[in-house]
């Protein structure tokens, strides 16, 4: 081993060693020449067009993203549709088209996708997310500055339709934009007698995706399911994809466990404790945490409170792709000056490897600017 090589090794380790200390210009340079930072279009270009519409996916594609996200749920007739929720009433007119087809959940009406056939779901108009105000009986948009409710024409698409859009654009542009597919609520589908993960992986295989060189990530909030996909299902189907373990707050009820017939929230706490990342690394290639799990919302611009999550995940050989980077009013945390500053902090001070964003054009422009420097 030459002296020069040893010196290079020492230099390399000392840079990695100070990952979480006060950021210096040389560290920023080090991050810059590292791996390309990924921009993942969260539900498409959902800041501009209704989430998961094919239009939002096409706009995201045109922005030059690396990956486009699909959230996948199952219909009554076992088709896979691209929807964020396993119910239909936040983004469609199901309440007026099928007023009686709901189930009561804690006294609230829920129109579940799994209770409708694909041809019924295709009759619905899709729009931006909204809430029904029971007092005034009017629809309140979740994001008032985004695309207006029920304007133009959008519908729920199948996973196949979305893959064909992205593969078609890959053909016509010569690019290779990837899929970032989330298996939604596998616990719920299993309880309803459906194996959503098996169905989703089979569709991917049918469309020619099969191994880790293909631009595909599979993400899931349910660790039991992510582990099952890793340990058993991928081998059964004959595929091998990169897996991302999403991390939720327990009180979101994102993942439920049935105990004596009652669904109780899965306890995610172990993931954020020392040793948690190493345990996840036994079955996943990366994690998708909520932004505040990395940088505390109590942070200020001159005092960032940064958790060990990214450091520990990297030490375990995993990637970190936090969610969700939004440019809407009041959704840039107080410790960042603006959307770009927020990206700068996460990518180049904390060192995350990719971000889920509703504003893919802004994130792509930012990364290009930094990486061409
Ligand atoms: Ca998702």
Give how far the C-alpha of residue 25 lies from the chain's centroid of Cα atoms, to the nearest Å.
Answer: 31
What is the average pLDDT value for the chain, to the nearest integer?
92
Task: Answer with the residue of higher pLDDT: 207 or 31.
Answer: 207
Q: Mind listing the pLDDT tens digit for each residue in 59-110?
A: 999 999 999 999 999 999 999 999 999 999 999 999 999 999 999 998 999 9
Domains and CATH numbers, the chain: 21-86+156-371 (3.20.20.190)
The predicted pLDDT at position 28 comes to 41
Find the mean pLDDT for residues 34-58: 97
If you measure from the C-alpha of residue 5 to the centroid of ligand 1, how many angstroms do you get, rounded to a whole number? 44
pLDDT above 70 for 2 = no
The tokens 């991390």 sit on which residue? 247
If you measure from the C-alpha of residue 168 to the centroid of ligand 1, how many angstroms do you get, rounded to a whole number? 23
The predicted pLDDT at position 261 comes to 83
If you measure from the C-alpha of residue 18 to the centroid of ligand 1, how many angstroms do you get, rounded to a whole number? 32
If you measure from the C-alpha of residue 317 to the centroid of ligand 1, how many angstroms do you get, rounded to a whole number? 23
pTM of the model: 0.91
Q: What whole-number distance in Å separates Cα of residue 213 and Cα of residue 206?
A: 16
If you measure from the C-alpha of residue 43 to the centroid of ligand 1, how many angstroms do you get, rounded to a whole number? 7
Q: What whole-number distance in Å separates Cα of residue 303 and Cα of residue 306?
A: 9
The predicted pLDDT at position 134 comes to 87
Find the mean pLDDT for residues 147-175: 98
Alpha helix stretches (DSSP H) within the chain? 3-17, 25-32, 54-63, 94-97, 118-121, 159-173, 186-191, 196-206, 223-228, 234-237, 276-280, 309-315, 339-344, 360-371
If you measure from the C-alpha of residue 291 to the centroid of ligand 1, how many angstroms do you get, rounded to a whole number? 14
If you measure from the C-alpha of residue 282 to the centroid of ligand 1, how many angstroms do you get, rounded to a whole number? 22
Q: Mind listing the pLDDT tens digit for each residue in 107-133?
A: 999 999 999 999 999 999 999 999 999
Find the mean pLDDT for residues 177-190: 97
The predicted pLDDT at position 33 comes to 53
Residue 11's pLDDT band (cuts 50, 70, 90): very low
Task: Specify the range with the lowest mean pLDDT, choosing from 2-16, 104-118, 342-356.
Answer: 2-16
Q: What whole-number distance in Å separates Cα of residue 141 and Cα of residue 309?
A: 34
Residues with catalytic roles? 42, 84
Peptide bond into 324 cis (omega under 30): yes
The tokens 């660790």 sit on which residue? 223
Find the mean pLDDT for residues 292-316: 97
With contact defined as beta carbons under 8 Å apart, do 52 and 71 qualify? yes
CA distances from 155 to 200, 220, 292 (A): 20, 24, 33
If you measure from the C-alpha of residue 186 to the centroid of ligand 1, how many angstroms do you get, rounded to a whole number? 13
Task: Specify the range with the lowest mean pLDDT, choosing from 33-37, 119-123, 151-155.
Answer: 33-37
The tokens 């505390």 sit on which residue? 296
Q: Mind listing the pLDDT tens digit for each residue in 211-256?
A: 999 999 999 999 999 999 999 999 999 999 999 999 999 999 999 9
């Amino acid at each position: 081993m030459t002296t020069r090589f040893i010196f290079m090794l020492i230099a390399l380790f000392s840079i990695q060693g100070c990952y979480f200390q006060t950021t210096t210009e040389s560290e920023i340079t080090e991050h810059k020449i590292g791996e390309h930072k990924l921009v993942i279009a969260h539900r498409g270009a959902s800041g501009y067009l209704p989430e998961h519409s094919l239009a939002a996916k096409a706009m995201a594609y045109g922005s030059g993203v690396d990956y486009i996200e699909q959230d996948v749920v199952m219909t009554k007739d076992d088709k896979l549709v691209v929807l964020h929720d396993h119910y239909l009433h936040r983004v469609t007119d199901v309440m007026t088209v099928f007023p009686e087809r709901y189930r009561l959940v804690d006294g609230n009406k829920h129109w579940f996708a799994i209770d409708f056939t694909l041809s019924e779901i295709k009759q619905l108009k899709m729009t931006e997310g909204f809430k029904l105000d029971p007092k005034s009986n009017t629809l309140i948009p979740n994001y008032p500055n985004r695309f207006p409710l029920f304007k133009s024409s959008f519908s729920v698409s199948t996973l196949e339709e979305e893959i064909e859009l992205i593969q078609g654009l890959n053909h016509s542009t010569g690019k290779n934009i990837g899929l970032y597919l989330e298996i939604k609520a596998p616990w719920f589908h299993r309880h309803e007698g459906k194996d959503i993960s098996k169905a989703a992986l089979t569709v991917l295989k049918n469309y020619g995706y099969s191994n880790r060189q293909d631009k595909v990530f599979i993400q899931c909030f349910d660790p039991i399911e992510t582990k099952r996909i890793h340990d058993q299902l991928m081998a059964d189907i004959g595929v091998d994809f990169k897996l991302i373990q999403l991390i939720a707050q327990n009180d979101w009820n994102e993942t439920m466990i049935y105990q004596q017939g009652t669904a109780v929230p899965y306890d995610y706490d172990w993931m954020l404790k020392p040793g948690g990342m190493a345990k996840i690394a036994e079955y996943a290639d990366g994690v998708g945490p909520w932004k505040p799990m990395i940088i505390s919302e109590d942070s200020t611009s001159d005092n960032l409170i940064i958790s060990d999550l990214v450091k520990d995940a990297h030490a375990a050989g995993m990637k970190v792709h936090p969610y969700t980077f939004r440019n809407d009013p009041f959704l840039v945390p107080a410790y960042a000056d603006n959307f770009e500053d927020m990206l700068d902090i996460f990518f180049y001070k904390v060192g995350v490897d990719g971000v889920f964003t509703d504003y893919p054009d802004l994130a792509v422009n930012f990364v290009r600017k930094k990486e061409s420097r």
